[in-house]
Amino acid sequence: MPDYRKLNLSEADRIAEIDATHYIKNAWRRNEASGQYELVEINWTDTELPNGFDWHLQRLKETLQNGGTAFGCFEGSTLIGYTTVDKDIFGKQEKYVLLDQLFVSQNCRGKGIGKALFLMCAKQAAEYGAEKLFLCAGSAENTIAFYQKLGCQTAKERNQRLYEEDPRDIQLEYCLETKKSGQQDYVF
């Protein structure tokens, strides 16, 4: 049975225990001519955290140093999943907080760990006073399907700074009000 708990700053480097290998058959890409998203076959395997371990470690540390929260999932003494949620509320009209990272080790996916970590962040975000989680999801078809199944939809506001960090990411939001599964349509 997995063990979930908050991570502290001294444990940040444990994210190296995550096997972030991820095969991506299809990814969503914006068609520049039409402005619409379409699935494109890319047949790519990421063998590490996107942008590399050091980038994610620095972001995790910044989250914790700025009052945000990180949650980890452990199997025995090994970290097999983690997520982070920033504390700062942003948005012009929406009251967002950023769910900055969510990763589950390759051999532990499909067991509800990602969903449990996501919902822990949602609860924390509500405690921070946010109305919505904001996330920049990798454009892999199965990544977007995961967030869609949880009830995420296209963000009403675009965060330009985050867009410039990776324009291929898809900016999503999750309303922190009580959700009824399956009642939202997903539209880019």
pLDDT at 151 over 60: yes
- Residue 72 domain-assigned? yes
- Residue 182 domain-assigned? no
- Residue 186 domain-assigned? no
Q: Which CATH number characterizes residue 105's domain?
A: 3.40.630.30
What's the pLDDT score for residue 147?
Answer: 98
- Residue 185 domain-assigned? no
pLDDT in tens, 108-133: 999 999 999 999 999 999 999 999 99
pLDDT in tens, 8-47: 999 999 999 999 999 999 999 999 999 899 999 999 999 9
Between CA 4 and CA 148 the distance in angstroms is 23
Neighbouring-strand partners of residue 103: 82
- Residue 60 domain-assigned? yes
- Residue 15 domain-assigned? yes
Range of the domain at 123: 3-175
Q: Please state the pTM of the whole predicted model.
A: 0.91
Q: How many domains does the chain have?
A: 1
- Residue 184 domain-assigned? no
Between CA 75 and CA 138 the distance in angstroms is 25
